[in-house]
């Protein structure tokens, strides 16, 4: 499997405090990487640099060998949802999905077809409700953002805390959905989460960040969950 995402000598600092310091990180095609760490560990900052939303202090992020700051090809095969800033609050979910689909040259019919497998995930709470996205609950906004990230069947999927704000039933449905994407489409996934149980079930590899540095990078096994729980209770 070839390397899809590669970070080299990547650093980011705010007010002279380094929040990310990663000499090297590779994610290969079809690999599912779970990124875990306490608040302030640098998970979201790393994702924002991978998506060219913020500029690193030093180093670079490559996607299929191209620097994300200087090439645009990665945008067409990457789906991402980090937070509600990705949404457009004054649109309805239907309008937003059509907008995102249009960016990928998907017709209205193609968008509707792509949303059909997500009906169980939506649980009848998203489509046909006559609401703007800004009027949805935080959990339902989360569903809209995740669904939009999946709309164009991306090769690379990046989700920041996707299980947060979701009720237990929807968390399980999302976990099953991500496991299916991993098994049937070999989507390369980068998922950060405070939910150690779900992330170890979804991801075959776990990377632990602490103060912006990778302190553990392990393949998921039967003991990974208990090992992580022990690590974070020290």
pLDDT digits (tens, 9 = 90+) for 38-59: 999 999 999 999 999 999 999 9
Q: DSSP state, 125? A: S
Determine contact, residues 116/105, Cβ cutoff 8 Å. Answer: no
Query: What does the pLDDT read at residue 157?
Result: 98
d(CA 116, CA 119): 6
d(CA 190, CA 187): 10
Nearest to 214 by CA among 50, 55, 52, 34: 34
* Strand ordering across the sheet containing 17-28: 17-28, 3-14, 58-63, 66-67
Query: What does the pLDDT read at residue 167?
Result: 95
Query: What does the pLDDT read at residue 146?
Result: 98
Cα-Cα-Cα-Cα dihedral of 1, 160, 66, 185, to 10°? 40
3-state DSSP assignment of residue 55: coil
d(CA 136, CA 125): 9
Query: What does the pLDDT read at residue 234?
Result: 75
Query: What does the pLDDT read at residue 101?
Result: 97
Query: What does the pLDDT read at residue 166?
Result: 96
3-state DSSP assignment of residue 17: strand
Query: What does the pLDDT read at residue 185?
Result: 86
CB atoms closer than 10 angstroms to residue 34 = 25
Parts of the chain with a pLDDT under 50: none
Q: Which domains does the chain show, CATH number per domain?
A: 3-232 (3.40.50.300)
Most distant CA pair in the chain: distance in Å? Answer: 52
d(CA 23, CA 21): 7
d(CA 5, CA 56): 15
Q: 119 vs 81, 156, 161, CA distance in Å?
A: 19, 22, 21
Residues in the chain: 234
Query: What does the pLDDT read at residue 175?
Result: 96
Query: What does the pLDDT read at residue 195?
Result: 94
């Amino acid at each position: 499997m070839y390397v899809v995402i590669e970070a080299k000598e990547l650093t980011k600092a705010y007010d002279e405090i380094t929040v990310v310091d990663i000499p090297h990180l590779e994610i290969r095609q079809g690999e599912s990487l779970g990124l875990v760490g306490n608040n302030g560990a640098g998970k979201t900052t790393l994702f924002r640099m991978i998506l060219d939303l913020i500029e690193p202090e030093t180093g670079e992020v490559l996607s299929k060998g191209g620097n994300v700051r200087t090439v645009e090809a990665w945008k067409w095969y990457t789906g991402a949802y980090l937070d509600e800033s990705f949404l457009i609050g004054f649109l309805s979910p239907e309008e937003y999905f059509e907008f995102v689909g249009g960016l990928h040259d998907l017709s209205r019919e193609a968008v509707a077809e792509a949303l059909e497998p997500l009906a169980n995930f939506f649980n009848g709470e998203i489509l046909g409700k006559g609401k703007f996205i800004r009027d949805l609950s935080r959990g339902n906004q989360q569903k809209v953002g995740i669904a939009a990230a999946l709309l164009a069947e991306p090769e690379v999927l990046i989700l920041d805390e996707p299980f947060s704000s979701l009720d237990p039933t929807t968390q399980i449905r999302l976990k099953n959905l991500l496991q299916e994407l991993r098994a049937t489409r070999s989507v390369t996934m980068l998922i950060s989460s405070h939910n150690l149980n779900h992330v170890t079930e979804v991801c075959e590899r776990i990377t632990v960040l602490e103060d912006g540095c990778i302190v553990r990078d392990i393949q998921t096994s039967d003991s990974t969950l208990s090992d992580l729980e022990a690590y974070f209770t020290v």
